[in-house]
Amino acid sequence: MAKPKLALIPASQGSELFSVLPSSGVGDFDFSRSGAATRINSQGLIEEVEDGVSRLNYPMIDGKVVGCPHHILEPQRTNLITYSEDASQWINVNTTISQDDVISPDGTLNADKFEFTGNGSIRPNTSQLTFTNDYSFSIFIKKGNARYVTLAARFFTSPLAVGFDLDTGTSQSGGIIENYGNDWYKLSLSNNVTGDTDRTGVFYVYLPSSLGAESSVSGNNAYVWGAQVEEGSYPTSYIKSNSGSTTTRSAETANGSGDASTFNDSEGVLMAEISALADDSSYRSISINNGSTSNYVQIGFDSSGSNKIFGNIRPSGSSFSVPTNNILNFNKILIKYKINDCSLWINGFEVGTDLNGVVSSGLNQLSFDTGGVAKWYGKAKQLQYYNSALTDSELEQISSWTSFTDMAQGQLYTIE
Amino acid sequence: MANEIYDSSWWGNTIDTASSIGTSTEMIQGQFNINDRQEVEAVKCLADSIHRIGIQDIQN
């Protein structure tokens, strides 16, 4: 009978990730994070979440919250900007700043207006910043009278400039533009500077007359809030850093769900509806394990290539690695384990089988990692664990979208 | 009227869902117990998911 033994359905924030099954609470995950973080709340506003509290994050499509929330787990990042919400503290050229001029994406009157009085720029970082390999620059911009915005990263031998069009909500290659509603967009770019001469750079914002130009037109204006520069190959959620020093959000962990009586060593099914933070070929695992890195049943994102999903059973069992369309969308992934009968399913389709499979032993917890390594960062919309192998019909049903709306929202499609 | 209860009330949610998923009392209990451990924010999402799992249980 297809009733899960353990089910995590994100619906609460707190010191744990709360599982609805088992009803005793033994399925709750121990959660940790040092430092505050932000989330998108049910009103679509960016909201700060206290140190040690898990985050319930709502998906947005075209600037509006659509569908049910997910838990978001992110790696450690530091916002290197020291006044992320106060443009008057930045290094600005030929610019007039009007502080606290409009409502920002956090819903309060704390976003600044900037207007150029000549060919100028605004620069959130007041000193040069040095990176080991990768950086990401992100900033929230609301249109004033200028259509185009250019973000530029000036490095000695690896400069990068990307143009954004606020009328069409599009960007040049290398940029990401996300609609946060009320005409606010999060603009971002990332780059690798491993080969740069000194890997030290500065970050500019321009309001040009044409897409991608690194200049500003006198009289052009826009609104700005939430500047962030971080070491990493993709931008993460906004870290408020507005008190004159850099601010760090530590890596988030969630583990210790269930116990030995929850999991069946001989057979079972683990299902997760998840999406990645970036297609960066990092090894990110969710697993049933025994606390070690030798006995586990795991699923997640693979390090062997772009948009790959994997399933593994150890100490010596099955290994699956399967490409999918886009790991940035929510995918329903499922692994079935049973002696000589293991399989991997994605979005209702069986994508891998192993009729010579063996199983793990001593399974006693479900974790967003595997024995403390291969830590999982991403967005989780649900987890389910069944302590029997289930039929193919049941596996298809559990890993399928339950409605067209469910599927469309999972893929962040707009339905018109 | 049923939809209004379903959308806005914790107790309404649970009662509305319970009638559909029959014998799956542990899921109903799980829904109550989560709220005891931590206030539930996404009430309708939780109830809808429990409802889906319950339907799945009956169908199999």
pLDDT tens-digit map of A192-216 = 999 999 999 999 999 999 999 999 9
Q: In whole angstroms, what is the distance from residue A345 CA to residue A334 CA?
A: 5
Confidence class for position A126, pLDDT limits 50, 70, 90:
very high
Confidence class for position B32, pLDDT limits 50, 70, 90:
confident
Q: Which residues of A touch B32 (CB under 8 A)?
A: 23
pTM of the model: 0.93
Q: Give the ipTM.
A: 0.84
List, in sequence order, every beta strand (DSSP E) within A62-159: 64-65, 70-73, 77-79, 91-103, 109-123, 129-130, 134-143, 148-155
Confidence class for position A414, pLDDT limits 50, 70, 90:
low
Any B CB within 8 A of A405 CB? no
Confidence class for position B19, pLDDT limits 50, 70, 90:
low
Give the count of beta carbons closer than 10 Å to the beta carbon of residue B18: 18
B31, B39, B60: residue with CB nearest A20: B31
A11, A23, A384: residue with CB nearest B33: A23
A2, A10, A391: residue with CB nearest B56: A2
User: What integer pLDDT is reported at residue B57 of this predicted model?
Assistant: 63
Write the DSSP symbol of residue A87: G
Using CA atoms of A390, A392, A398, A402 in order, give the dihedral in degrees to the nearest 10. -150
Q: Over chain A, what is the mean pLDDT?
A: 95
- With a cut of 80, say whether residue A273 has pLDDT above it: yes
Any B CB within 8 A of A16 CB? yes
Q: In whole angstroms, what is the distance from residue A302 CA to residue A88 CA?
A: 44
Task: Tell me the average pLDDT across B18-37.
Answer: 72
Contact A388, A275 (CB under 8 A): no
Contact A289, A392 (CB under 8 A): no
Q: In whole angstroms, what is the distance from residue A9 CA to residue A385 CA?
A: 12
Q: Over chain B, what is the mean pLDDT?
A: 67
Q: Which of B37, B48, B50, B52 to mutate to test the interface with A (most CBs of A within 10 A)?
A: B37
- With a cut of 80, say whether residue A34 has pLDDT above it: yes
State the smallest CA–CA distance between residue B10 and chain A in angstroms: 12
CA A312 to centroid of chain Cα atoms: 23
User: What integer pLDDT is reported at residue B14 of this predicted model?
Assistant: 54
Which A residues 47-76 touch B at CB under 8 Å?
Answer: 56, 68-69
Using CA atoms of A36, A109, A179, B43 in order, give the dihedral in degrees to the nearest 10. 60
Buried b (16+ CB within 10 A) or exposed e, A195-230: ebeebebbbbbbbbeebbbbebbeebbbbbbbbbbb
Structure tokens at A224: 């700005």
CB within 8 A of A42, min separation 6: which ones? Answer: A58, A65, A69, B41, B42
Backbone φ, ψ for residue B6 (5° rounding): -60, -40
B33, B46, B60: residue with CB nearest A11: B46
Any A CB within 8 A of B10 CB? no
CB within 8 A of A190, min separation 6: which ones? Answer: A134, A135, A136, A137, A174, A232, A233, A234, A235
Any A CB within 8 A of B18 CB? no
Q: In whole angstroms, what is the distance from residue A199 CA to residue A159 CA?
A: 10
Any B CB within 8 A of A173 CB? no
Whether B38 sits inside 8 A of A24 (CB atoms) is no
- With a cut of 70, say whether residue A78 has pLDDT above it: yes
Contact B42, A20 (CB under 8 A): no
A10, A14, A24: residue with CB nearest B42: A10
% pLDDT > 90, chain A = 93
Backbone φ, ψ for residue A83 (5° rounding): -135, 80
- With a cut of 70, say whether residue A259 has pLDDT above it: yes
Classify residue A114 by burial, with Cβ atoms within 10 Å: 0-12, 13-18, 19+: buried
State the smallest CA–CA distance between residue B1 and chain A in angstroms: 22
Confidence class for position A116, pLDDT limits 50, 70, 90:
very high
Confidence class for position B18, pLDDT limits 50, 70, 90:
low
